[in-house]
Copies of this chain bind each other. A is one copy, B any other.
Protein backbone atom coordinates (compact mmCIF):
# COMPACT_ATOMS: atom_id res chain seq x y z
CA UNK A 1 0.00 0.00 0.00
CA UNK A 2 1.33 3.38 -0.96
CA UNK A 3 -0.08 6.83 -1.46
CA UNK A 4 2.42 7.41 -4.24
CA UNK A 5 1.30 7.11 -7.85
CA UNK A 6 3.57 5.09 -10.10
CA UNK A 7 4.99 6.14 -13.44
CA UNK A 8 3.03 3.72 -15.59
CA UNK A 9 4.70 2.98 -18.94
CA UNK A 10 1.94 0.60 -20.06
CA UNK A 11 1.22 0.52 -23.81
CA UNK A 12 -2.49 0.73 -23.06
CA UNK A 13 -4.58 1.11 -21.05
CA UNK A 14 -2.18 3.73 -19.78
CA UNK A 15 -1.72 6.88 -17.72
CA UNK A 16 -4.35 9.60 -17.63
CA UNK A 17 -3.65 13.19 -16.56
CA UNK A 18 -3.83 13.31 -12.75
CA UNK A 19 -5.94 16.51 -12.68
CA UNK A 20 -8.54 14.71 -14.81
CA UNK A 21 -8.58 11.66 -12.50
CA UNK A 22 -8.92 13.86 -9.44
CA UNK A 23 -11.77 15.83 -10.97
CA UNK A 24 -13.56 12.61 -11.99
CA UNK A 25 -13.12 11.23 -8.46
CA UNK A 26 -14.45 14.43 -6.86
CA UNK A 27 -17.56 14.28 -9.07
CA UNK A 28 -18.05 10.52 -8.97
CA UNK A 29 -21.00 10.27 -6.58
CA UNK A 30 -22.64 13.50 -7.66
CA UNK A 31 -21.62 15.00 -11.00
CA UNK A 32 -21.54 18.79 -10.68
CA UNK A 33 -24.34 18.67 -8.12
CA UNK A 34 -26.87 17.04 -10.47
CA UNK A 35 -27.55 14.28 -7.94
CA UNK A 36 -26.24 11.41 -10.08
CA UNK A 37 -22.93 9.79 -10.96
CA UNK A 38 -22.02 9.84 -14.65
CA UNK A 39 -21.87 6.04 -14.20
CA UNK A 40 -25.62 6.10 -13.46
CA UNK A 41 -26.80 8.69 -15.94
CA UNK A 42 -29.37 7.92 -18.60
CA UNK A 43 -27.71 8.33 -21.99
CA UNK A 44 -30.87 10.20 -23.06
CA UNK A 45 -30.74 12.70 -20.17
CA UNK A 46 -29.98 16.36 -20.75
CA UNK A 47 -26.90 16.04 -18.53
CA UNK A 48 -25.34 13.24 -20.56
CA UNK A 49 -26.31 14.78 -23.90
CA UNK A 50 -24.31 17.86 -22.86
CA UNK A 51 -21.32 15.69 -21.88
CA UNK A 52 -21.42 13.92 -25.24
CA UNK A 53 -21.88 17.10 -27.27
CA UNK A 54 -19.02 18.82 -25.43
CA UNK A 55 -16.74 15.83 -25.90
CA UNK A 56 -17.37 15.78 -29.63
CA UNK A 57 -17.00 19.56 -29.98
CA UNK A 58 -13.75 19.65 -28.03
CA UNK A 59 -12.32 16.82 -30.13
CA UNK A 60 -13.37 18.67 -33.28
CA UNK A 61 -11.66 21.80 -31.97
CA UNK A 62 -8.35 20.23 -30.99
CA UNK A 63 -8.09 18.09 -34.15
CA UNK A 64 -9.53 20.71 -36.55
CA UNK A 65 -12.05 18.19 -37.83
CA UNK A 66 -13.94 19.62 -40.83
CA UNK A 67 -17.75 19.72 -40.85
CA UNK A 68 -17.97 17.06 -43.56
CA UNK A 69 -16.54 14.49 -41.18
CA UNK A 70 -18.63 12.60 -38.64
CA UNK A 71 -17.27 11.81 -35.18
CA UNK A 72 -18.41 8.55 -33.59
CA UNK A 73 -17.73 6.79 -30.29
CA UNK A 74 -18.09 3.04 -30.85
CA UNK A 75 -17.54 0.09 -28.51
CA UNK A 76 -15.40 -2.96 -29.36
CA UNK A 77 -11.98 -1.33 -29.68
CA UNK A 78 -9.65 -1.59 -32.65
CA UNK A 79 -10.62 -5.23 -33.15
CA UNK A 80 -14.18 -4.33 -34.08
CA UNK A 81 -12.88 -1.50 -36.29
CA UNK A 82 -10.76 -4.06 -38.17
CA UNK A 83 -14.07 -5.64 -39.26
CA UNK A 84 -16.13 -2.46 -39.64
CA UNK A 85 -13.63 -0.89 -42.04
CA UNK A 86 -13.97 -3.55 -44.78
CA UNK A 87 -17.67 -4.19 -44.07
CA UNK A 88 -18.40 -0.52 -44.74
CA UNK A 89 -15.74 0.57 -47.21
CA UNK A 90 -15.53 -2.40 -49.61
CA UNK A 91 -18.28 -0.75 -51.61
CA UNK A 92 -17.29 -0.94 -55.31
CA UNK A 93 -14.48 -3.27 -56.44
CA UNK A 94 -14.33 -5.20 -53.17
CA UNK A 95 -10.55 -4.62 -53.16
CA UNK A 96 -8.44 -2.95 -50.49
CA UNK A 97 -4.68 -2.44 -50.10
CA UNK A 98 -2.92 -2.76 -46.74
CA UNK A 99 0.56 -1.74 -45.62
CA UNK A 100 1.91 -4.10 -42.96
CA UNK A 101 4.04 -2.42 -40.32
CA UNK A 102 3.34 -4.58 -37.29
CA UNK A 103 1.10 -7.03 -35.48
CA UNK A 104 -1.98 -4.80 -35.49
CA UNK A 105 -1.66 -3.93 -39.17
CA UNK A 106 -1.45 -7.66 -39.89
CA UNK A 107 -4.51 -8.37 -37.79
CA UNK A 108 -6.41 -5.60 -39.56
CA UNK A 109 -5.52 -7.10 -42.96
CA UNK A 110 -6.34 -10.63 -41.86
CA UNK A 111 -9.76 -9.56 -40.65
CA UNK A 112 -10.41 -7.72 -43.92
CA UNK A 113 -9.58 -10.89 -45.88
CA UNK A 114 -12.81 -12.37 -44.53
CA UNK A 115 -14.73 -9.84 -46.57
CA UNK A 116 -12.83 -8.91 -49.72
CA UNK A 117 -9.82 -9.05 -52.00
CA UNK A 118 -6.98 -7.74 -49.85
CA UNK A 119 -3.51 -6.99 -51.20
CA UNK A 120 -0.46 -6.45 -49.02
CA UNK A 121 1.31 -3.69 -50.93
CA UNK A 122 4.31 -3.44 -48.61
CA UNK A 123 5.56 -4.97 -45.39
CA UNK A 124 8.52 -4.55 -43.08
CA UNK A 125 8.06 -7.96 -41.48
CA UNK A 126 11.37 -9.10 -43.07
CA UNK A 127 13.21 -6.98 -40.48
CA UNK A 128 10.88 -7.50 -37.50
CA UNK A 129 9.00 -4.33 -38.40
CA UNK A 130 11.95 -2.10 -37.48
CA UNK A 131 11.18 0.43 -40.21
CA UNK A 132 8.30 1.95 -42.19
CA UNK A 133 8.26 1.00 -45.89
CA UNK A 134 8.05 3.77 -48.47
CA UNK A 135 4.85 3.51 -50.45
CA UNK A 136 3.82 5.62 -53.40
CA UNK A 137 0.65 6.21 -55.35
CA UNK A 138 1.77 3.70 -58.01
CA UNK A 139 1.92 0.91 -55.43
CA UNK A 140 -1.84 0.88 -54.97
CA UNK A 141 -4.38 -0.81 -57.21
CA UNK A 142 -6.20 2.03 -59.03
CA UNK A 143 -9.58 0.46 -58.30
CA UNK A 144 -8.89 -0.26 -54.61
CA UNK A 145 -11.82 0.83 -52.43
CA UNK A 146 -9.40 2.06 -49.77
CA UNK A 147 -5.83 1.90 -48.48
CA UNK A 148 -5.18 1.02 -44.83
CA UNK A 149 -2.19 2.04 -42.72
CA UNK A 150 -1.31 1.87 -39.02
CA UNK A 151 0.21 5.26 -38.33
CA UNK A 152 2.01 4.34 -35.10
CA UNK A 153 3.03 0.79 -34.27
CA UNK A 154 2.70 0.25 -30.54
CA UNK A 155 4.57 -3.03 -30.33
CA UNK A 156 7.55 -2.19 -32.57
CA UNK A 157 7.92 1.50 -31.71
CA UNK A 158 7.65 2.84 -35.23
CA UNK A 159 5.70 5.73 -36.75
CA UNK A 160 5.16 6.85 -40.33
CA UNK A 161 7.42 9.84 -41.06
CA UNK A 162 5.09 10.73 -43.94
CA UNK A 163 1.45 10.34 -44.97
CA UNK A 164 1.20 8.10 -48.06
CA UNK A 165 -0.24 9.74 -51.16
CA UNK A 166 -3.14 7.56 -52.29
CA UNK A 167 -4.56 9.95 -54.87
CA UNK A 168 -8.35 9.55 -54.99
CA UNK A 169 -8.37 6.33 -53.01
CA UNK A 170 -9.64 6.94 -49.45
CA UNK A 171 -6.88 6.50 -46.90
CA UNK A 172 -7.87 4.73 -43.67
CA UNK A 173 -5.57 5.04 -40.67
CA UNK A 174 -5.46 3.30 -37.32
CA UNK A 175 -4.16 6.05 -35.00
CA UNK A 176 -4.81 4.21 -31.72
CA UNK A 177 -1.40 4.86 -30.24
CA UNK A 178 -0.64 8.35 -31.57
CA UNK A 179 -3.91 10.26 -31.78
CA UNK A 180 -3.60 13.73 -30.20
CA UNK A 181 0.20 13.54 -30.02
CA UNK A 182 0.72 15.37 -33.32
CA UNK A 183 -1.19 17.68 -35.63
CA UNK A 184 -2.94 15.71 -38.36
CA UNK A 185 -4.50 17.06 -41.56
CA UNK A 186 -7.78 15.18 -41.27
CA UNK A 187 -8.68 15.97 -44.89
CA UNK A 188 -5.96 13.59 -46.06
CA UNK A 189 -7.97 10.68 -44.62
CA UNK A 190 -11.25 9.02 -45.48
CA UNK A 191 -11.44 7.42 -42.04
CA UNK A 192 -9.36 7.77 -38.89
CA UNK A 193 -10.02 5.40 -36.01
CA UNK A 194 -8.38 4.97 -32.63
CA UNK A 195 -8.99 2.87 -29.56
CA UNK A 196 -9.04 5.42 -26.73
CA UNK A 197 -7.18 3.39 -24.10
CA UNK A 198 -3.72 4.68 -25.00
CA UNK A 199 -3.81 8.43 -25.30
CA UNK A 200 -7.36 9.45 -24.41
CA UNK A 201 -9.52 7.60 -21.89
CA UNK A 202 -10.27 4.34 -20.09
CA UNK A 203 -10.70 1.41 -22.47
CA UNK A 204 -14.00 0.53 -24.08
CA UNK A 205 -14.46 2.85 -27.03
CA UNK A 206 -12.89 3.61 -30.35
CA UNK A 207 -13.21 7.06 -31.86
CA UNK A 208 -14.03 7.03 -35.58
CA UNK A 209 -13.68 10.17 -37.69
CA UNK A 210 -15.17 9.53 -41.12
CA UNK A 211 -15.76 11.56 -44.26
CA UNK A 212 -19.52 11.77 -44.76
CA UNK A 213 -19.58 10.65 -48.39
CA UNK A 214 -18.04 7.31 -47.37
CA UNK A 215 -20.82 6.51 -44.90
CA UNK A 216 -23.81 4.39 -45.86
CA UNK A 217 -22.37 1.56 -47.94
CA UNK A 218 -22.66 -1.35 -45.52
CA UNK A 219 -24.60 -4.22 -47.07
CA UNK A 220 -27.94 -5.29 -45.61
CA UNK A 221 -26.52 -8.41 -43.98
CA UNK A 222 -23.94 -6.45 -41.96
CA UNK A 223 -24.78 -6.58 -38.23
CA UNK A 224 -26.51 -3.32 -37.28
CA UNK A 225 -23.90 -2.36 -34.71
CA UNK A 226 -21.16 -2.64 -37.37
CA UNK A 227 -22.72 -0.08 -39.70
CA UNK A 228 -21.06 3.34 -39.30
CA UNK A 229 -24.27 4.95 -40.58
CA UNK A 230 -26.18 3.76 -37.50
CA UNK A 231 -23.67 5.48 -35.23
CA UNK A 232 -23.36 8.61 -37.39
CA UNK A 233 -27.11 9.12 -37.82
CA UNK A 234 -27.77 8.64 -34.12
CA UNK A 235 -24.92 10.71 -32.72
CA UNK A 236 -23.28 7.65 -31.12
CA UNK A 237 -26.46 6.84 -29.16
CA UNK A 238 -28.26 4.31 -31.37
CA UNK A 239 -27.95 2.12 -28.30
CA UNK A 240 -26.48 2.83 -24.87
CA UNK A 241 -22.89 3.93 -25.48
CA UNK A 242 -19.99 3.55 -23.07
CA UNK A 243 -21.01 6.73 -21.27
CA UNK A 244 -18.24 6.75 -18.69
CA UNK A 245 -15.38 6.45 -21.22
CA UNK A 246 -16.95 9.15 -23.35
CA UNK A 247 -17.13 11.39 -20.27
CA UNK A 248 -13.47 10.86 -19.33
CA UNK A 249 -12.42 11.27 -22.97
CA UNK A 250 -14.25 14.60 -22.98
CA UNK A 251 -12.43 15.68 -19.82
CA UNK A 252 -9.10 14.78 -21.47
CA UNK A 253 -10.00 16.74 -24.61
CA UNK A 254 -10.76 19.77 -22.40
CA UNK A 255 -7.50 19.27 -20.53
CA UNK A 256 -5.52 19.18 -23.78
CA UNK A 257 -7.28 22.34 -24.96
CA UNK A 258 -6.43 24.08 -21.70
CA UNK A 259 -2.80 22.96 -21.96
CA UNK A 260 -2.41 24.63 -25.36
CA UNK A 261 -3.88 22.01 -27.67
CA UNK A 262 -2.23 19.32 -29.74
CA UNK A 263 0.79 21.48 -30.72
CA UNK A 264 1.66 21.91 -27.03
CA UNK A 265 1.27 18.15 -26.43
CA UNK A 266 3.45 17.44 -29.45
CA UNK A 267 6.20 19.77 -28.26
CA UNK A 268 6.32 18.02 -24.90
CA UNK A 269 6.12 14.59 -26.54
CA UNK A 270 9.11 15.43 -28.76
CA UNK A 271 11.11 16.64 -25.76
CA UNK A 272 10.35 13.49 -23.79
CA UNK A 273 11.10 11.13 -26.66
CA UNK A 274 14.28 12.94 -27.73
CA UNK A 275 15.65 12.82 -24.21
CA UNK A 276 15.01 9.08 -23.92
CA UNK A 277 16.26 8.13 -27.39
CA UNK A 278 19.37 10.31 -26.97
CA UNK A 279 20.18 8.55 -23.73
CA UNK A 280 19.63 5.10 -25.26
CA UNK A 281 21.71 5.88 -28.35
CA UNK A 282 24.60 7.13 -26.18
CA UNK A 283 24.40 4.19 -23.78
CA UNK A 284 26.66 1.17 -24.03
CA UNK A 285 24.10 -1.19 -22.47
CA UNK A 286 20.84 -0.30 -24.19
CA UNK A 287 20.01 -0.40 -27.87
CA UNK A 288 16.97 0.77 -29.84
CA UNK A 289 16.48 -1.49 -32.87
CA UNK A 290 14.27 0.98 -34.74
CA UNK A 291 15.32 2.92 -37.83
CA UNK A 292 15.97 6.45 -36.58
CA UNK A 293 13.64 8.38 -38.87
CA UNK A 294 10.75 5.96 -38.23
CA UNK A 295 10.84 6.06 -34.44
CA UNK A 296 7.65 6.53 -32.47
CA UNK A 297 7.21 9.43 -30.06
CA UNK A 298 4.85 7.30 -28.01
CA UNK A 299 6.40 3.83 -27.72
CA UNK A 300 10.14 3.66 -27.13
CA UNK A 301 11.44 0.13 -27.64
CA UNK A 302 14.86 -0.93 -26.37
CA UNK A 303 16.84 -4.05 -25.41
CA UNK A 304 20.03 -4.94 -23.60
CA UNK A 305 20.71 -7.82 -25.98
CA UNK A 306 20.42 -10.26 -23.06
CA UNK A 307 16.85 -11.53 -22.49
CA UNK A 308 17.58 -12.48 -18.87
CA UNK A 309 18.94 -9.02 -18.17
CA UNK A 310 15.85 -7.53 -19.83
CA UNK A 311 13.65 -9.46 -17.41
CA UNK A 312 15.73 -8.31 -14.46
CA UNK A 313 15.39 -4.72 -15.71
CA UNK A 314 11.60 -4.93 -15.90
CA UNK A 315 11.29 -6.49 -12.43
CA UNK A 316 13.63 -4.03 -10.71
CA UNK A 317 11.99 -1.09 -12.49
CA UNK A 318 8.60 -2.18 -11.18
CA UNK A 319 10.02 -2.27 -7.65
CA UNK A 320 11.29 1.27 -8.26
CA UNK A 321 7.75 2.46 -9.09
CA UNK A 322 8.31 2.39 -12.87
CA UNK A 323 5.53 0.08 -14.07
CA UNK A 324 4.91 -2.00 -17.18
CA UNK A 325 8.26 -1.60 -18.94
CA UNK A 326 8.19 -5.10 -20.47
CA UNK A 327 8.02 -5.31 -24.25
CA UNK A 328 4.97 -6.89 -25.86
CA UNK A 329 4.71 -10.60 -25.04
CA UNK A 330 5.40 -11.35 -28.73
CA UNK A 331 8.87 -9.74 -28.83
CA UNK A 332 10.11 -9.27 -25.24
CA UNK A 333 12.74 -6.66 -24.38
CA UNK A 334 11.60 -3.33 -23.00
CA UNK A 335 9.09 -0.73 -24.10
CA UNK A 336 8.45 2.62 -22.47
CA UNK A 337 5.12 4.01 -23.61
CA UNK A 338 5.27 7.74 -22.98
CA UNK A 339 1.88 9.02 -24.04
CA UNK A 340 0.66 12.59 -23.50
CA UNK A 341 -0.16 11.95 -19.84
CA UNK A 342 3.36 10.77 -18.93
CA UNK A 343 5.07 13.76 -17.33
CA UNK A 344 8.69 14.69 -18.07
CA UNK A 345 9.44 13.67 -14.47
CA UNK A 346 8.51 10.09 -15.40
CA UNK A 347 11.00 10.08 -18.28
CA UNK A 348 13.66 11.56 -16.02
CA UNK A 349 12.98 8.91 -13.38
CA UNK A 350 13.24 6.20 -16.03
CA UNK A 351 16.57 7.52 -17.31
CA UNK A 352 17.92 7.76 -13.76
CA UNK A 353 16.91 4.16 -13.18
CA UNK A 354 18.46 3.06 -16.49
CA UNK A 355 21.77 4.73 -15.52
CA UNK A 356 21.77 3.03 -12.13
CA UNK A 357 20.89 -0.33 -13.68
CA UNK A 358 23.61 0.07 -16.30
CA UNK A 359 26.12 0.89 -13.58
CA UNK A 360 25.12 -2.18 -11.57
CA UNK A 361 25.11 -4.55 -14.54
CA UNK A 362 28.14 -3.74 -16.65
Contact = CB atoms under 8 A, between A and B. Distances in A.
Nearest to A35: B6
Contacts of A25: 25-26, 28-29
A36 B6 CA distance: 6
Interface stretch (A181-189, A235-243, A350-358): A235-243
A146 interface: no
Interface string A215-240: 00000110111100000000000111
Interface stretch (A41-49, A130-138, A160-168, A287-295): A41-49
A212 to B, nearest CB: 23
A221 B112 CA distance: 10
A18 B10 contact: no
Nearest to A242: B204
Nearest to A248: B39
Contacts of A43: 13, 203
A18 B205 CA distance: 26
A242 B38 CA distance: 16
A8 B242 CA distance: 19
Q: How many copies of this chain does the complex contain?
A: 2
Interface bin, chain A:
35 or more
A113 to B, nearest CB: 10
Interface string A10-46: 1111111010011011101110111111111111110
A153 interface: no
Nearest to A2: B33
A296 interface: no
Given A76-B75, A242-B245, A8 B36 contact: yes
A4 interface: yes
A92 interface: no
Contacts of A22: 29
A327 interface: no
A166 to B, nearest CB: 25
A140 to B, nearest CB: 25
Given A40-B15, A83-B225, A4 B203 contact: no
Contacts of A14: 40, 42
Contact of A21 (B12, B29, B115): B29
A329 B43 CA distance: 13
A10 B176 CA distance: 33
Contact of A239 (B36, B78, B202, B240): B78
A194 to B, nearest CB: 12
Contacts of A87: 223
8 closest A-B pairs by beta carbon, nearest first, are A6-B35, A1-B33, A204-B242, A83-B223, A75-B75, A39-B202, A25-B28, A79-B239
30 contacts: A1-B33, A2-B30, A3-B30, A4-B35, A5-B29, A5-B36, A12-B42, A13-B39, A13-B40, A13-B41, A13-B42, A14-B42, A21-B28, A21-B29, A25-B29, A28-B28, A35-B323, A40-B202, A45-B323, A76-B80, A79-B224, A79-B239, A114-B221, A203-B240, A203-B241, A203-B242, A203-B243, A204-B242, A223-B223, A244-B244
